[in-house]
Amino acid sequence: MATGHEQWLEQGDIYALGALDGQELKDFEAHLASGCAVCEAYIRETRESLLLLHRAITPFEPSAAMKTRVFDQIADGKRVVPITEAKLRKSRIWLRMSGTIAAGILGVVITATYYHYRYEPRHSVYSAVIDLLRDPNTRDVALYGAGPTPAALGRFLWNKSGEGHLFVTNLPAAPEGKMYAVWTIAQESSPRYVASIRTDAKGLGGVHINAAPSDKPIQTFAVTLEPVGTTAAPTGPMVLVSKQT
């Protein structure tokens, strides 16, 4: 390698790894932009070397359906849609093609709704949940336990209209003076309070949500344990959270 490049090459290693940051990253990117062929070649070689790291990871095979999903998205006459829209398309196809499965899930949801909401007017809850499930704009998002409640689980039906329904299990009842607050988080936005949710002695709970629609797609759903009345911003520990969607 050319002399005088040692400093750049040292940074090139870390740049290729994706770990360079701060002013060093800015300086190195400016150096690359100047057209340094030596550094470009060095980074290329480093990236090839880093492929060795793949030998340390557990191999996973994607399902056969994934290939169909990819080809569906690039199919003739179809625009390439953002992944969130692709999910909705998949959901529509799924609903059309898997009537039996859908009916089964619907039955489970209705049954769960019965137990979760036996103190509410049943017909209205049924209707609302069924309408959500029928709507191709409804997303079905899994929530996972976090912080003090790792065993908790949730399922969030969310429609871009702002209507949604959250089911939770294994979430202990909130202590006296506390409540579980439900938040939605859109891209580059602060968490928005949309509801509170109560759970019974068995850790079961649910809530139907009618919030204002969001200008941006919701990326994350979360539930936190808050002092009663907290709605401006989350302050307490997260007990349920979705992965970014």
Partner 1 sequence: MSAQSISSGYLVQQVAQQDREAFSQLYDRCSSLVFSLAMRMLRVRSDAEDLLQEVFVQIWRQASNYSAERGTPEAWIVNIARSRAIDKLRSIRRMEQSFVLTDDPARAESSDNVETAAAESEAKMAMSSALVNLPEAQRRVLELAYFDGLTQTEIAARLKEPLGTVKTRMRSGIQRLREIMKMQAA
Q: Which is nearer to partner 1, 46 or 161 (CB)?
A: 46
Q: Which is nearer to partner 1, 83 or 212 (CB)?
A: 83
Q: Using alpha carbons, select from 129, 142, 128 the residue that is nearest to residue 220.
A: 142
Q: Which stretch binds partner 1 (CB under 8 A): 80-88, 107-115, 124-132, 200-208?
A: 80-88
State which amino acid sits at residue 209.
Answer: I
Among 83, 201, 212, 232, binds partner 1 (CB under 8 A): 83
Q: Which residue has the tokens 């790792």?
A: 150
Does residue 91 interact with partner 1 by CB under 8 A? Answer: no
Residue 54's contacts (CB-CB under 8 Å, 6 or more residues apart) are none
Among 1, 2, 26, 47, binds partner 1 (CB under 8 A): 47
Does residue 157 interact with partner 1 by CB under 8 A? Answer: no
Q: Which stretch binds partner 1 (CB under 8 A): 108-116, 156-164, 183-191, 203-211?
A: 183-191
CA 3: distance to chain centroid? 48
Contact predicate 158/139, CB 8 Å: yes
CA–CA dist 211, 159 (Å, integer): 10
Question: Dihedral angle at the C-alpha atoms of 56, 58, 63, 66, nearest 10 degrees?
Answer: -40
Buried b (16+ CB within 10 A) or exposed e, 129-160: beebbebeebbebebebbeebeebbbbbbbbb
Among 1, 2, 21, 105, binds partner 1 (CB under 8 A): 21
Does residue 54 interact with partner 1 by CB under 8 A? Answer: yes
State which amino acid sits at residue 69.
Answer: R
Q: Which is nearer to partner 1, 33 or 123 (CB)?
A: 33
Does residue 93 interact with partner 1 by CB under 8 A? Answer: no
Shortest distance in whole angstroms from residue 199 CB to partner 1? 17
Does residue 58 interact with partner 1 by CB under 8 A? Answer: yes
CA–CA dist 181, 169 (Å, integer): 15
Q: Which residues bind partner 1 (CB under 8 A)?
A: 10, 13-14, 16-22, 40, 44-63, 66-67, 69-71, 73-74, 80, 83, 86-87, 142, 144-148, 150-151, 153, 185, 190-191, 219-220, 222, 224, 234-238, 241, 243-244
